[in-house]
Amino acid sequence: MAEINLFLIFLGSIGFDLLIGDPRFLIHPVQIVGFYIKKISDYFTNNFGENKRILFWGGFFIAISSIGISFSLGKLIELSYVLSRNNFFSGLLIFFGLSSCIATKGLISSVKEIVELLESKEINDQNERIIKDRVQRIVSRDVSSSSKKHLLRSSTESLTENSVDGIFGPIFWIFIGILFMKFSVFLPGPLSLGFSYKAISTLDSMIGYKYDNFRYLGFFSAKIEDFFTFLPSRLVLISLPLVSAKVNEYGSIIKKSYLDGKKYDSPNAGISEAIFAYISGIKLGGESKYNNEIIEKPIINANGDDCTEEKINLICQLIFKLQFLWIIIFVLIYFLISSLI
């Protein structure tokens, strides 16, 4: 009975995120784990900045402790809910906790806000600063000197990459947690895996870089994120064409997307960007500025169009459709497994 209620809470949390997003009156779990990561990272970089070995193992400690704390908190709430026979307060914590792991409304709203500003009749110096500030919030590259064309590309690349990290990755691992708890309440559950994945994603976005001290401090964080995002990114690759107008080109699009995506250093980011690029017909990649250095990213879909407001809106629609498809598939899998055990 408890696992059925957890599944219903999971479905409700997805709906809540789509409609409301993250309530401002609640402290977001990412803020807490982000504060912890920042403090510990600063300690290691400020005191051992020249010692690669200490930074390397310090990064291991940061990654394991952040994930461990997140997992333990989620597991305690799950056990409280199940062992108290579906306590309302614990159920509420799980509901808001699961919703906080999914960032559909937040991510899409942020990008659409940028698109609306870029579509305004007149972009003066003040509006341009506001737009660049909004784009900078969702990307790690430096966009201070970017053109409108580059701002649109940066926003699109962030949207397509973070759709996996912020939406489909958490949904996948939360669902795996629900299936685990059908077999034992002591196995990793939806909230413990959801919180863990969110911690992994936050670690990667904060310290998982390949320059300066981060190449040592963030090594483990980046590798762990690669591992836990591997399956969700490939599920997006094979399922996104099913909700698009190009479903009749299914095999060809997946092959092209996979080959282009493999050009990226990240085993996942390129894959997720590529499948959205081919389906929406846009070109991604090219020059970007990171830490005062120009980096040439591999080109994805070289014959595609430039990113436009219309293309971004199309990608947002695809994300909504794919999320709905995943929910249907997960419901079918859940009841199929339930009928077999």
Cβ count within 10 A of residue 1: 8
Which pLDDT does position 138 carry in this prediction? 83
Identify the weakest region by mean pLDDT among 22-31, 67-76, 104-113, 232-241.
Answer: 22-31
Q: What is the pTM of this model?
A: 0.93
Residue of 326 and 142 predicted with greater confidence? 326
Residue 271 to residue 257: CA distance in whole angstroms: 6
pLDDT at 279 over 70: yes
121-177 residue pLDDT tens: 566 666 778 888 888 888 878 787 788 888 888 899 999 999 999 999 999 999 999
Q: What is the pLDDT of residues 73-96, one digit of tens each?
A: 999 999 999 888 778 888 999 999
Cα–Cα distance measured from residue 27 to residue 198, given in angstroms and rounded to the nearest whole number: 14
Domains of the chain, residue spans: 2-340
Q: Is 112 exposed, middle or buried (0-12, 13-18, 19+ CB in 10 A)?
A: middle
Rounded CA-CA distance 192/188 in Å is 6
pLDDT of residue 4: 66
Whether the Cβ atoms of residue 174 and residue 10 lie closer than 8 Å to each other = yes
**Can you give the three-state secondary structure of 115-137, one letter per residue?**
HHHHCCCCCCHHHHHHHHHHHHH
Model confidence at 295, in pLDDT bands (50, 70, 90)? Answer: confident
pLDDT score for 229: 97
